Amino acid sequence: MGGGSGGHVTPVAAVIAEIKRQAPSAEVRFWCDRKFAREAKATMHQQHPDVSVHTIISGKFRRYHNLSLWRQLVNVRTIVLPNIIDSFKIAAGTLESVYKLLRWKPDVVFAKGGFVCLPAGVAARVLGIPLVIHDSDTHAGLTSRILSRWAVSIGTGAPLENYSYPKAKTHFVGIPVATGLAPVSKQKQTELQKQFGMDSTRPLVVVTGGGLGAKRINDTTVAVIDNLLSICNVFLVTGSAQYDSLKDVTKHYSKSQFRIEPHVPSSEFVQALAAADIVVSRAGATTMLEMAALAKPTILIPNARLTGGHQVKNARAYEKGRAAVVLSEEELVVSPNLLVDTIGSLLHNPKELQRLASSVHAFATPHAARDMAALVIAARKR
């Protein structure tokens, strides 16, 4: 189970592929939250059409890294009231999960992360079903911290010094990505650009805010699109919320130079990343590992509002390793052309692009899905 964004679904798909390889007779079902169900089903069914996808009621506890505790407590309409409502959703989701687990009687529950995992993880604990969890971010999430006390095994996306989980049952495996994800040749990159209908004689920049999109990244990109198109082609993945309005605003641009999509299924999204000369992205752990596996020069724009500042910490780790360029959202709001200047500077410096590609590739963990699947299968034997 996993959800809240594609960053939780694509690693599950990679682990399922390895489970099928290591235990061919295994039956697998996938649970996700209702809000992200459409995207999750598309991603899962594209890779595993035989895996049934189910939704459960779930809620999240809103905490914002860039707001003081006092400002959050007085923000009744957008923080306090939704948290109260979602606490009832979590309770309902737990009861729903107990019912569904009693009907299915699984041998193991694997929680990849996201708020949807809390009710089902609690239900697994109540019913005595072995629970295995994986935490991608360098900052442990609240759901994972709660479930870790009951998990029989814990996999992490970053080295163990970033976590306070019990060392005896915690394993650094990396972040599961699709098997075979690797850098592509220049010829293959050109073929992929043509496949997406892009002019392959110009450099391509892919801009993505993750499965749900990122308003500030979308707004910045569209605000400077004329300047960007003077130096490169752009493939913008907006998320569903802004797609219609942004498509209408940008409909007069040549499709061979500017492509806009609300969502791209995971296998096509990987191909889009592989086609890119530069990727502009949020600092979600899964997307970052996909770019590491593909050795893609990357500009990270972390979401500073997220709980615990985990995207900021993710980005900082890559910046420290000189494996990515990190830009602040606040700076881009004030000066959106900073994005154009940064992309232009990289495109005019092939040596720096190559250095970034080599440095980010060092973060790749090609055996993460295999190792995580082994932990899930081993839990069944306990």
Range in 185-189, 224-228, 334-338, 378-382 with the lowest mean pLDDT: 378-382
Q: Are 278 and 297 in contact (CB under 8 A)?
A: yes
pLDDT per residue over 214-224, tens digit each?
889 999 999 99
Radius of gyration of the chain measured on its C-alpha atoms: 21
The pair of three-digit structure tokens given for residue 356, joined into one six-digit string: 């970034």
CATH superfamily to which 186-361 belongs: Glycogen Phosphorylase B; (3.40.50.2000)
pLDDT of residue 116: 86
Topology, domain 6-177+367-380: Rossmann fold (3.40.50)
Mean pLDDT, residues 263-270 taken together? 83
pLDDT per residue over 238-247, tens digit each?
988 889 999 9
> How many other C-beta atoms lie within 10 A of the C-beta of residue 274?
24
Q: What SS3 string covers 250-316? A: CCCCCCCCEEEECCCCHHHHHHHHHHCCEEEECCCHHHHHHHHHHCCCEEECCCCCCHHHHHHHHHH
pLDDT of residue 64: 57
Q: Are 138 and 117 in contact (CB under 8 A)?
A: no
Residue among 262, 257, 306 nearest 282 (CA): 306
The pair of three-digit structure tokens given for residue 129, joined into one six-digit string: 């079903």
pLDDT band at 80 (very low <50, low <70, confident <90, very high): low
| pLDDT score of 38 more than 60 | yes
Residue among 170, 169, 143 nearest 159 (CA): 170
Beta sheet of 233-237, edge-to-edge order: 258-261, 233-237, 204-208, 278-281, 298-300, 325-326
Average pLDDT across the chain, whole number: 89
On the CB side of 108, CA atoms within 13 Å amount to 24
- Please give the model's pTM, rounded to 2 decimal places: 0.78
The pair of three-digit structure tokens given for residue 102, joined into one six-digit string: 């009693």
For the chain, the straight-line distance linking the first and the last C-alpha, in angstroms and rounded, comes to 20
Cα–Cα distance, 207 to 261 (Å, whole number): 11
pLDDT per residue over 106-149, tens digit each?
999 999 988 889 999 999 999 999 999 999 877 777 888 999 99
Cα–Cα distance, 115 to 95 (Å, whole number): 15
Q: Domain coordinates of the chain in residue numbers?
A: 6-177+367-380, 186-361
pLDDT band at 98 (very low <50, low <70, confident <90, very high): very high
The two domains 6-177+367-380 and 186-361 share their CATH topology (first three levels equal): yes
| pLDDT score of 339 more than 80 | yes
pLDDT band at 21 (very low <50, low <70, confident <90, very high): very high
| pLDDT score of 356 more than 80 | yes
Residue reference for tokens 């007779």: 25
Mean pLDDT, residues 81-91 taken together? 81
Mean pLDDT, residues 196-204 taken together? 96
| pLDDT score of 212 more than 90 | no
Sign for the pseudo-dihedral over CA of 208, 213, 215, 218:
positive
| pLDDT score of 66 more than 60 | no
Residue reference for tokens 């791209």: 264
pLDDT of residue 218: 94
